[in-house]
Amino acid sequence: MGNRYRVLYCAGGNGNFGDDYILDRWLAHASTKSSPGQLYVNSWQDWLAARYRGSDRIVFGKHLQHPVRAEVASLSGGDSLDDFLAAGERAASNLLAAPPAAGGILDKIESFHLAGGGYLNLITKAHFAHLSFMAALAKSLGVPIFGTGLGLMPLNGTNRLYEVLSTFRFIEARDIESFDWLTSVGLKSVAISGLDDTFISPVVGGAPSSPRRLIVNVQSDMGGSHLHSTLLRVMKDYIHTYSRDFSDLLYVSFFDKSDVIFHEALQQALGISISLLNKSDLLADGLPFSPSDVVISSRFHCHLLAARCGASGLYIVARKGYYDVKHKSILDIGSGWISFLDDPPGPSELLPPAIDEQGQLAKKAALLTAAPSL
């Protein structure tokens, strides 16, 4: 039979730094495991392959992506959640019937792991095809399937979705709203109230600067033109009002296709050049956040990682029912950040985060201990 494969799957891998960072943390974890077998990463990104090229525990491939993408391509954004779930199930049936199936890896799979992120919801229904695809394969092959660090809001259940989710050995929800939803639809036996997947390892931030820096990260794909113009006006006023409190202004982009749009607009509004760190910079050089910084961000993972590095900050809710749930989950563990659009306080009035980093890491470690297939 040869090596056994633990399949790592991140359906939300669209180039967002948060999803890439999660994959990187799981690969770092897998590369140090002493258990037999290999981790089959259902992705192929050059930076990940280069980083783990020397590991004999990790295999990269796309065999499990093509069937799902082919089925999803036949649908449109107007299709129902059940349509996408059915598409994933068809993709699994086609793969199981195709000789040799998935390059000969199917008979070597020992588990499926759906890695965390906030991509399973009614906003991005296509990702549910990947969910049902994995669940159908796991059921047919008789192997366990797990989900970790998942955010599911906003979501309404269907009988078909319940059947898919009930095949999971467990589903760890990273926010209380997702956990409550799972329990409310009869999935209490598989639901775990947990944490984002970045908590599988400590974060390492940058060296403190003196005086403090202002670091900005704003996306442009969830708020519409009205929010964009409002944010630009409030941001411009804030920077002018507190310019003497900051030694530098830095912009970070977690997803260039979206985030650099606001960077360009802010530069034009202020009439200055603003240093930009993109995803490649963050992956190569590490997180820039430090306890002396103030961060303004609309993105979940920027808020979470910056707060874990000790930075105080202000968050932006770009879409109700989605980003408010995301940001609240970080507030719930002690980030102490304040809403930027509700009369934002000056830097001297912001409190430092009070996240119990060691306690949260221990909570996540307990999950890894309980589920050796991870």
208 vs 313, residue with greater confidence: 313
Looking at residue 279, what is its pLDDT? 87
Per the DSSP assignment, residues forming a β-bridge with 70 are none
190-199, 325-334, 365-374: least confident range: 365-374
Q: How confident is the model at residue 343 (pLDDT cuts 50, 70, 90)?
A: confident
Looking at residue 226, what is its pLDDT? 62
At residue 359's C-alpha, the angle toward residues 355 and 360, to 5°, is 70
The yes-or-no verdict on residue 223 having pLDDT over 90 is no
Percent of the chain with pLDDT over 70: 95
Mean pLDDT of 244-251: 94
Looking at residue 14, what is its pLDDT? 63
The yes-or-no verdict on residue 240 having pLDDT over 50 is yes
Cis peptide before 99 (omega within 30 of 0): no
The closest alpha carbon to 219, from 118, 141, 115, belongs to 118
Mean pLDDT of 341-364: 94
* Number of H-type helices and E-type strands within the chain: 13, 13
Looking at residue 100, what is its pLDDT? 66
Helix (H, G, I), strand (E, B) or coil at 276: strand
Confirm if 190 and 166 have CB atoms less than 8 A apart: yes
Sequence letter at residue 291: P
**Beta strand extents in 174-330 (DSSP E only):** 191-193, 213-217, 248-252, 275-277, 294-297, 312-315
User: Around Cβ 99, how many Cβ atoms within 10 Å?
Assistant: 6
The yes-or-no verdict on residue 36 having pLDDT over 80 is no
How many whole angstroms separate alpha carbon 32 and alpha carbon 366?
Answer: 17
13-22, 296-305, 333-342, 349-358: least confident range: 13-22
pLDDT digits (tens, 9 = 90+) for 95-127: 998 766 666 788 899 999 999 889 999 988 999
Confirm if 274 and 251 have CB atoms less than 8 A apart: yes
How many whole angstroms separate alpha carbon 169 and alpha carbon 30?
Answer: 20
- Identify which of 72-81, 103-112, 356-365 has the greatest average pLDDT: 356-365
3 vs 24, residue with greater confidence: 24
The closest alpha carbon to 339, from 319, 324, 352, belongs to 324
Taking all residues of the chain, what is their mean pLDDT, rounded to a whole number? 90
What residues have CB less than 8 Å from 103, skipping those under 6 apart?
A: 61, 63
How many whole angstroms separate alpha carbon 135 and alpha carbon 190?
Answer: 14
Looking at residue 1, what is its pLDDT? 42
Tell me the two tokens of residue 324: 């408010």
Q: How confident is the model at residue 311 (pLDDT cuts 50, 70, 90)?
A: very high
Looking at residue 13, what is its pLDDT? 59
Q: Residue 224 region, left (φ>0) first, then alpha (ψ -120 to 50), else beta?
A: left
How many whole angstroms separate alpha carbon 182 and alpha carbon 160?
Answer: 14
